[in-house]
Structure 1
Amino acid sequence: PTGVAALNVKGQTIHSFFNFYVDVTPQKIKEKTIKPRWDKTRLYKRLDTIIIDEVSMVRADLLDCIDVFLRMHGPDSDRPFGGVQMIFVGDLYQLPPVVTSQERAIFSSFYQSPYFFSAHVMESAPLEIIELEKVYRQKDPDFIDLLNRIRNNSLEESDLERLNSRHAPALHPNDPGSENGLFISLTATNRIADEINDAKLRDLKGRFHVSKAHIAGDFGKEYFPTSTDLQFKTGAQIMLLNNDSKKRWVNGSIGIIEAYQKDEEGEYYLDVALQDAEGETVQVYPYTWELYRYSLDEGVIVTEPVGAFTQFPFRLAWAITIHKSQGKTFDHVMIDIGQGAFAAGQMYVALSRCTSFEGVYLKKRIRRQDIRTDYRIHEFLTGYHYRLSESEMPLKEKIVFIQKAIREKTRVKITYLKANDTRSERVIIPLRVGEETYLGKAFPSLKARCLNRGEERTFRVDRILKMEVSEAQD
């Protein structure tokens, strides 16, 4: 959905690939107000698979636009998305699609939610969800569990107290000589981030330097990875925006500019002291980002560069917005939510950027209302798991399985979907099947001894996603 995300994987934005205008609608595509580029008509016919990254940020109406377009110009007009296989990648509990206040009323009359899964095409295009369970950014299991409870908005008071133990208003977060290393402030708004960066840059002694970008070919503003006129000083804290070919830094690495000078051939470069454990000082030269377009060459889909943007690969980084931090990893963060979190997933994204709990510092204490999730995501994911479970083992079969286990005194391993949409693996000894009522609604229940907890528990049978005889029996 975004230019920078597309640039990093040598892809294209949705709007660019389909030749959509900013105000694209399904109706405009049907009326042929929006047409495919003449040089891509054969490519659309040959499409097999499209991968959309950061799908949490894709609006429902945009997905319907893709469907209408591909039905008109893709391989098969009678199938969803023109018969093209769609792969959606992303975390729905992160930042949501943007719907302006002016759009909200009219949007809600057409769609149940702004999320991609509320697109009308999804009614005829069933999903298969694959969940990646291994966490790479954090290593501490307690911190990972805490982040999952923030993600699902299932925090207890003890969790909130633990979070607020990182409240450190007196900390000077950007003292390069501190034992904690460099900090980056994550802010709720662009205004706060800009104010912090401007003030920090002014406070530095020394002269201003300006680096002007060189732009060649067709490289739209929406793809600019950094400013065309970078202002900086020696001592500035920056975030590098590319992956170094020698693997000395990655996109998101933090460092301090130590020098700005020319090499033997007269080309300017920066000496940057990296934040990482080695504290290495590296030479950073201007970097060229290439913009690619897709085309068809003798029946094969190929990419071709159509534009280039050359500039020093950094932005000032005493502060960036939480939105811009999505996808990044930092060792030390100062989270500044200003007047409070205002978007679902905002606090989860901010906290989960950090590699450790000890690396998190809070400018203000977190309130319970700052932990926000969208109930529509929960309904979508829970509904999916229910339908999948019902297709694999219908409710009646589950009850028959449980009753047999009770008669034979068999231990059963279950995968249970908790109310906050998290799943847990348990080994139980079923005792009896009955019926419980919650909020006026009856559901089949299972009384069992949970061997994980060492106590009797009541489970909703419809929330048992999987069950099998446990290998460990008396």
Structure 2
Amino acid sequence: MLSCLSECYLVVLSGLFTRGQDAEEKVSLPAEIIISAEAPLNDLINFVYPSFEASVERDGYFASRAILAPYNDSVDAINETCLGMFPGSLREYRSIDSVADEDAATHFPPELLNQLDAPNFPIHLLRLKVGMPVVLLRNINPPRLCNGTRLIILAMGENVLRCKIAAGQFTGDEILLPRIPLIPSNADLPVSFKRLQFPVKPSFCLTIHKSQGQSLDTVGIDLSVGCFTHGQLYTALSRAKNAANVRVRIPGTRTRNVVFPEVLTEE
């Protein structure tokens, strides 16, 4: 199996250097690492997280494993499923949303602002449990607390979360995280507004982009909707330290390996 996956890595990586003008080409993955997209999502979740109950007792459990997916919608759906499986009492936190322009307030009441969302931005209704992993969405105190830092929830107050850093140089450090005011930078939104919320989201599953630079013991990759940008497939596959601990959920045995030749020729 190791040799099969190593060959697969080479095929995917070689696509980054030998591709012609086509930006997209499908590659075959070893049968040993495939979970059919027709199988329940829980098959992938249970491979990566065989026991959520054990995770509460073990330090480093969430630092060593993650599910990855290319799209934010897929990530959010998987996180919601994992949250439902995770033990403990659920607590909900609703943001306080407001527009900066008073003239726009009549056209954009809080109820409408609550429905707005943007990439890498906290959602209006944040659902959390003690012991679960979350990822930080803003630079708070670099290099200790940066966008992408994974945290474990230790305790939940009304306006403060007590968390532990899950991985990296500051692993084990405890921090207090307040709600903070944030303004989305997405120009596609109909109005500029401010959201007061905890700057985190669940991180049972991460986008492939967010996983860059991480080295994990166990990796599950959901490609039921395939990769869409340059080098994404190789980035996902290469997060695992051990090729035996990778599973990929795809339809069939082939998936897209997207390469943009212009990226390769840039100096």
TM-score (norm 1): 0.36
Identity score, percent: 18
Distance 1:258 1:379, change over 3 A: closer
- Structure-to-structure mapping, 1:389-408, within 5 angstroms: none
SS in 2 for 1:348: helix
Of 157, 167, 181, 1:276 maps to 167
Partner Cα separation in structure 2 for residue 231 and residue 340 of structure 1: 25
For 2:257, what is the secondary structure of its paired residue? Answer: coil
Alignment-mate amino acid for residue 283 of structure 1? L
1:369 to partner: Cα distance: 4.3
Instruction: Give the number of aligned pairs.
Output: 213
| Aligned with residue 83 of structure 2, among 201, 218, 222 | 201
- Alignment-derived partner of residue 286 in structure 1: 179
Q: Write 1 or 2 for the structure with the bigger share of helix.
A: 1
1:417-454 per-residue CA deviation (whole Å, 9 max, x = no partner) reads: xxxxxxxxxxxxxxxxxxxxxxxxxxxxxxxxxxxxxx
Q: Compute the displacement of 1:357 (Å).
A: 3.5
- For residues 228-307 of structure 1, the aligned pairs below 5 Å read 228-245=124-141, 247-261=143-157, 268-277=159-168, 278-290=171-183, 307=193
Contact 1:151/1:348 (8 A) holds in 2: no
Q: Distance in 2 between matches of 1:212 and 1:196?
A: 21
C-alpha separation in 2, matches of 1:282 and 1:166: 41
CA change 1:172–1:343 in 2 (3 A) is closer
Gaps (5+ residues) in structure 1? Answer: 1-141, 263-267, 294-305, 386-474
| Whole-Å separation in 2 of the counterparts to 1:191 and 1:292 | 19
1:315 has 2:201 as partner:
yes
Distance in 2 between the 1:321 and 1:193 partners? Answer: 6
1:200 maps to a residue whose letter is C
1: CA distance, partners of 2:117 / 2:48: 35
Shift of 1:318: 0.7
Aligned to 1:335: 220
Partners of 1:215 and 1:308 within 8 A in 2: yes
Q: CA deviation at 1:344?
A: 4.9
The CA deviation at 1:184 is: 2.2
Code of the aligned partner of 1:350 = A
Whole-Å separation in 1 of the counterparts to 2:78 and 2:200 = 17
Per-residue deviation at 1:271?
Answer: 1.3
SS state of the match for residue 288, structure 1? strand
Bigger drift between 307-316 and 273-282 goes to 273-282
Question: For the Cα contact (< 8 Å) 2:13–2:234, is it kept in 1?
Answer: no
Q: Residue deviations 1:116-156, cap 9 Å, x none?
A: xxxxxxxxxxxxxxxxxxxxxxxxxx9xx96992560659x
Query: C-alpha displacement at 1:228, in angstroms?
Result: 0.8
Which residue identity is paired with 2:149?
A: S
TM-score of the superposition, structure 2-length normalised?
A: 0.59
**Gaps in structure 2 of 5+ consecutive residues:** 1-5, 20-26, 35-43, 102-112, 187-191
**Superposition deviation, residue 165 in structure 1:** 11
Structure 1 residues 307-342: Cα deviation after superposition (integer angstroms, max 9, x where no partner)? 4322101111111343xx358543426232344735
Amino acid at match of 2:16: N
Check if 1:364 corresponds to 2:248: yes
Within a 5 Å distance, the mapping from 1:418-429 to structure 2 comes to none
Measure, in 2, the Cα distance between the counterparts of 1:249 and 1:280: 10
Q: Residue 152 of structure 1: which of 6, 13, 16 is its match?
A: 16
- Cα deviation, 1:170-196, whole Å, max 9, x if unaligned, reads 744365327664322112455653443
Q: Which amino acid aligns with 2:219?
A: M
**1:260 to partner: Cα distance:** 0.5
Q: Secondary structure at the match of 1:350?
A: helix
User: In the alignment, residue 228 of structure 2 is paired with which amino acid?
Assistant: A
For residue 197 of structure 1, give the secondary structure of its aligned residue in structure 2.
Answer: helix
CA distance, structure 1, for counterparts of residue 166 and residue 67 of structure 2: 15
Higher-Rg structure is 1
Deviation sequence 1:16-66 (CA, Å, 0-9, x none): xxxxxxxxxxxxxxxxxxxxxxxxxxxxxxxxxxxxxxxxxxxxxxxxxxx
Q: Contact between 2:134 and 2:201, CA under 8 Å: does it hold in 1?
A: yes
Inter-partner Cα distance in structure 2 for 1:233 and 1:344: 33
Distance in 2 between residues matched to 1:247 and 1:342, nearest whole Å: 30
